[in-house]
Amino acid sequence: MSILVVGSVAYDTVDTPFGRAEKVLGGSASFFSVAASFFTPVNLVAVVGDDFGAEALAAFEGRPIDLHGLERAAGKTFHWQGRYSYDLNARETVCTDLNVFESFRPRIPERYRRSRHVFLGNIDPVLQREVLDQVDGPRLVACDTMNFWISGKPEELRRTLARVDVLLINDAEARQLSGEWNVVKAARAIRALGPRTLVVKKGEHGVLMFSDEGSFAAPAYPLEEVFDPTGAGDTFAGGFLGYLAGCAEVDEAALRRAVVMGSTLASFCVEAFSLDRLRRLTRPEIDGRYRLFRRLTQFEEI
Ligand code: AMP
């Protein structure tokens, strides 16, 4: 069953202690689409400028990613620049050039409207609702947001969240959105706004999920080499929702497997700049690491 994703397709410039990548493919919808495409067909809605080259486009080719909704506008592609210190959990945004993204109004092509799953990437909550107005009764709506919208458009964000099933945010965003320092209290407050399932991402400290059945924790995979964390959150979301889209039922057991699948995909993303690792990733590698995740968290009863 297909997924509709709306978000950014970008050129990123990234500095890490291990090197620099200049104007490489990035954006929330790019990481999400490639990760989800390992499991299910993806319908992509985003905008790029006339500078968006064939090399970047090649990341989506040969995969079940429909590019009918990838608009090309006159001007430059959205550009984001970030810098990491040795603490890879702390990221500094050097600049955000919205370019063609500034006047982006997502138009959902007719053939995407019956997508059974929707991922609302981190865009203006008003636009996120406009996307929902254009789709026909999806099975599951998942959503991302960030501090900019939590403080800038709190009422609009609340109206969007009332229509969302799964919210995926990081721990700082969960605190800001709820006004609660404690993450368990924050989860209770956020779930009361609409999303029955809340996934809180904590970078190298893993993920916490809160649902009707209680809470579930997954660690981040302990990697020897972490090269560039950019896109890990969106890659997690792609693995999570892509996996769920292929499940006959979205119950607690499926949600838990999806959290581990999201963590699995994210663990590959951070091994290289941009989408480089995801582009050469294979399904057997994914399945192998998923199994290692199971081993990592298994222990006997006392
Ligand atoms: P993540 O590391 O998962 O939070 O995602 C990083 C990606 O988000 C980068 O590839 C950026 O191009 C993209 N990005 C950064 N800021 C924004 C923004 N304000 N709106 C949309 N996408 C953004």
Rounded to a whole number of angstroms, the distance between the first and last alpha carbons of the chain is 42
Reference 269, options 238, 292, 242, 243; nearest CA is 238
pLDDT at residue 229, rounded to an integer: 95
Q: Could you tell me if the CB of 91 is within 6 A of ligand 1?
A: no
- Calculate how far, in angstroms, residue 27's C-alpha sits from the geometric centre of ligand 1: 5
Using the atom order of ligand 1, give the atom closest to the CA of residue 148: 19
Q: Could you tell me if the CB of 237 is within 6 A of ligand 1?
A: no
Residues 6+ apart with CB under 8 A from 25: 9, 10, 11, 12, 56, 59, 274, 275
Tell me how crowded residue 105 is: count the other CB atoms within 10 A of its CB.
9
Q: Could you tell me if the CB of 26 is within 6 A of ligand 1?
A: yes
Q: What is the pLDDT of residues 200-256, one digit of tens each?
A: 999 889 999 999 999 999 999 999 989 999 999 999 999 999 999 999 999 999 999
Q: What is the pLDDT of residues 67-124, one digit of tens each?
A: 999 999 999 999 999 999 988 878 899 999 999 999 999 999 999 999 999 999 999 9
pLDDT at residue 88, rounded to an integer: 84
H or E element, residue 144: strand 140-144
Reference 254, options 190, 184, 170, 166; nearest CA is 166
Tell me how crowded residue 85 is: count the other CB atoms within 10 A of its CB.
12
Q: What are phi and psi of 195, to 5 degrees?
A: -65, 120
Whether pLDDT at 289 is above 90: yes
Q: Could you tell me if the CB of 12 is within 6 A of ligand 1?
A: yes
pLDDT-based confidence at residue 271 (cuts at 50, 70, 90) = very high
Whether pLDDT at 25 is above 90: yes
Q: Could you tell me if the CB of 96 is within 6 A of ligand 1?
A: yes
